[in-house]
Structures are given as structure tokens and as C-alpha cells.
Amino acid sequence: MRSAPEKAGLYIHVPFCRRKCPYCHFASAPPREGDWETWREGIEREAALRSRPEIEFETLYFGGGTPSLLDPADISGLIAALGRRLRLRIAEFTLEANPAAGTDDATLARWAGVGVTRLSVGVQSFDDATLAVLGRDYAAADALSFLSRARRAGFEAIGIDLMAGVPGESRASLRRTLEAVERAGPDHVSVYLLENVEGLPFEAVLAENPVDDDAAASAFEYLAAGLGSLGLARYEISNFARPGFECRHNLKYWRGEPFLGLGPSAGSRIGAERWTNAAGLAAWSQALATGADPRAEGVVLDPERNFREAIVAGLRLVAGIDLAEFQRRFGVDVGARFEREIAELWSDGLITLEGGILRIPEDRLLVSNRVMAAFV
Ligand code: SF4
């Protein structure tokens, strides 16, 4: 008898943006002539290289970069090509979109028509001054209009990304953002803290207008509380959703389930194997064109590191870790194995263990480094 296929997530990295935002550290750049074709050929080659009949992909996520630069016809062509190499049975298909990309109503409807179920829109803020500081080339009103047109196009879910810890942000600017979120009515919101990455143009902005960690954390928690009062419940450190609208694809990362990433800089986890692709389009595509492996780094985790990693990822979830299920999957009794660590963290109010569920209290998630360090 054939065993049931293992369910996995498939991530496709689109490494192109119309222009580079000054704070962005993702593998993305404006495409040069021929780059789209190079990328497309590379994705097909990599899919053939990673073809595994025992794995069935049930979620698909086009991230970037700006995947919304792709025409719907290109997306359906690419999915058809992937389907010849990988076993696809897609229940959730997310496309990241930029509200400045000049997308018309017909394109929005055609994305829904080629199977996109979730549109994830990189709004960052609904405050014009904050958008200007971030160097985004649209106004809050443009983002609102994009979201209402996307809603009419018929996606099953609409998500937005927001940012906290931006120079110049204030309670008033954050309140404006929350008011606009209420008007837009997204099903899912991700909130990220702005990172200061060495060597990026934004380093100079932050040097002139530093944001201290406490102020950034307080801005984050202000947004988190506001989203909660709008019915968007936190389910992971940075993610909020209306009930039933959690991102299935991203849940795989936190639940220790397998995922395959195709494209420059994409990461993968299959079984105990983890790897990350070369970040540059040229290095990644040339490796694939010459039959070489496009990975920049990879590791096969021993069982101990594998389950420790799964604990750290699982504790990011508000629901925490079901220890009985964890023992079934990894053969480890976490309560017994980490009895001393759990007792210490519990006495400091940093963790709870009730009804067989180990979790970090929601108001301590953002300062969870000490908890995570105990299990690494
Ligand atoms: S649009 Fe997104 S991926 Fe592209 S440069 Fe800006 S932040 Fe980076």
C-alpha cells in the first residue's frame, strides 16, 4: 500500500522590485533586461532538482521582492510548469503585493482567477509622514484605495504588513494607522519592528533620528492592542488574524512542518535538512544552469537540534506547544527534559504550563529572548 504523501509548503522568491526601499535587506533589486527570463528558467530548473514524489505541496506563497509585478498569465504558466515537476494540491495561495505597483482592477480580478486566495499587501503605515520617512512612493489614501479594490476582486483573504519603530512615529500616527485598518477591514495583519541593518541607506536616517528599543516595543504593543480591539487576534509574535484567517503557509514555519523554497535567497526545511539558496540572481541561476547546487549553505540537524529548534519555533505561537503531540512527533518529553528551565521561567512569569500546553503569555512574547535561549 502506498503511504500518504507528506504535506508541505512551497515558497517562490521573486527577487525584483521597481525600486529599492532604503531600509530593505531582502534579496530584491530592479530587474535588468533578461532578468525575468533568467529567474523563470531558474525556478523551473530548481523545481526539477527538488522534485520529490512523496511530498505534496498544499500551500503556495509568492514572496519577494514584489511578486505583484507578475502578470496573472505568467503566474498561471509558471504554476503549470511547476505542476509538471512537483506534486501540487494547493489549498492556499498567497501573493505579496505592493500598493504602489499601479495594479488595475482587471489584473486584481485575474490574480484571483488564476487561483490566488490571499493577497498580502505591504502597506507598512497609513500615516503619510511615516510612509515618506520609509521612502515608500504612495500615500495612505492610495493604499486604502488599493485595498478596497482588492476586496472587490474576490480574494478569500486580504492581509497587510505594518511596521513599528519608524523614526518620527507617534501615538497620533499609530492611531491614524489603526483607524485606517478599521476602515480597510483586512483579515490578517503582520507587524514588524524596523531593523537597523548595517550598510543600508536607512542607517544614516536612524543615526540622525534614533528610535530606542523601548519606544519601538511600546509602539508595537500599541498596534497589537489596537488590532486586538478590531477583532484581529494575535496568533504569533508578529501576526494577527480574524478567527479562521491565520496564514496556513506561515504556520508551517512555526509548527516545524516541511517547506521548500525556490529562488534566490529562499530557505527550505525538509526532514532534518535545512538550506538557504545563494542570494544573488546571477549566482543562483548560474549554478542551476550548470547543473550545480544553488545552495549557499545547508545543514542536516541531529535529532537534539531538530527538536530544540521546533520548541523555539512553536513558542512563537500564542497557542504554544501541545506537549503530548510534540512527544508523538519528536519522541521527547519536554516537561521532564526541561523541568528546571521551565520552573525558572515560570517563577519569573515568562512561561505557563497548563493542561499540557507550554506557552509564553501574550504580553511577554515580544521579550521572549530569554525563554527561547533556555531551549536553544
Ligand atoms: S518593496 Fe518590499 S521587497 Fe521591495 S525593496 Fe521595498 S521593502 Fe524591499
Q: What is the pLDDT of residues 22-36, one digit of tens each?
A: 999 998 999 999 999
Tell me what pLDDT residue 369 has. Answer: 87
Q: Check whether residue 246 and residue 308 sit in a common domain.
A: no
Tens digits of residue pLDDT in 46-56 = 999 999 999 99
C-alpha to C-alpha distances, 183 to 95, 151, 196, 347, nearest whole angstrom: 22, 12, 31, 42
Per-residue confidence band for 124, with pLDDT thresholds at 50, 70 and 90: very high
Residue in 305, 311, 303, 308 with CA at minimum distance from that of residue 358: 311
Check if 192 has its Cβ closer than 6 Å to any atom of ligand 1: no
Partners of 140 in the beta sheet? none
Q: What is the mean pLDDT of residues 312-340?
A: 96
Residue 21 near ligand 1, beta carbon < 6 Å = yes
Is 26 in a helix, a strand, or coil? coil
Could you tell me if residue 281 is inside a domain? no
Residue 145: the pLDDT is 95
* pLDDT classification of 2: cutoffs 50, 70, 90: low
pLDDT in tens, 79-108: 999 999 999 999 999 999 999 867 899 999
Rounded to an integer, the average pLDDT of 295-321 is 96
DSSP for 139-195 reads -HHHHHHHHHHHHHHT-SEEEEEEEE--TT--HHHHHHHHHHHHHH--SEEEEEEPP
Letter for the amino acid at 243? P
> Which of these three, 226, 253, 280, is where a domain ends?
253
Q: Is the CB of 205 under 6 A from ligand 1?
A: no
Q: Are residues 66 and 201 both part of a single domain?
A: yes
Residue 133: CATH number of its domain:
3.20.20.70
Mean pLDDT, residues 139-158 taken together: 96
pLDDT average, residue stretch 183-201 = 95
Residue in 94, 78, 96, 74 with CA at minimum distance from that of residue 26: 96
pLDDT band at 367, cuts 50/70/90?
confident
- Residue 27 resides in a domain: yes
Q: Number of folded domains in the chain?
A: 2
Of 253, 275, 290, which residue constitutes the final position of a domain?
Answer: 253
- 15 CB within 6 A, ligand 1: no
Please choose, from the candidates 83, 9, 7, 12, the residue with its C-alpha nearest in 3D space to the C-alpha of residue 259. Answer: 9
Domain residues for the domain of 356 are 303-375
> DSSP character for 16?
B
Q: What is the mean pLDDT of residues 225-236?
A: 98
Query: What average pLDDT does the structure give for the chain?
Result: 95
With a pLDDT cut of 70, the percent of the chain lying above it is 99
Q: Do 218 and 343 sit in the same domain of this protein? A: no
Q: Indicate whether 228 and 337 sit together in one domain.
A: no
Q: Is the pLDDT of residue 347 over 80?
A: yes
Q: Which of 26, 138, 281 to mutate to test the pocket of ligand 1 (most atoms within 8 A of CB)?
A: 26
Q: How much is the average pLDDT of 258-276?
A: 97
Distance 288 CA to ligand 1 centre (A): 25
Q: Does 165 fall in a domain?
A: yes
64 lines ligand 1 (CB under 6 A): yes
| Distance of alpha carbon 199 from the chain centroid | 23
Q: What is the CATH number of the domain that holds 342?
A: 1.10.10.920
The pLDDT value recorded for residue 54 is 94
pLDDT at 102: 74
Q: Please indicate, yes or no, whether residues 74 and 204 belong to a single structural domain of this protein.
A: yes
pTM exceeds cut of 0.85: yes
List the residue whose alpha carbon is closest to atom 8 of ligand 1: 24
Mean pLDDT of 327-341: 95
Comparing C-alpha atoms, which of 53, 45, 50 is closest to residue 3? 53
Q: pLDDT at position 1, please?
A: 54
Dihedral through CA 265, CA 268, CA 272, CA 273, nearest 10?
A: -50
- Residue 242, pLDDT > 90, answer yes
Query: 63 in ligand 1 pocket by Cβ < 6 Å?
Result: no
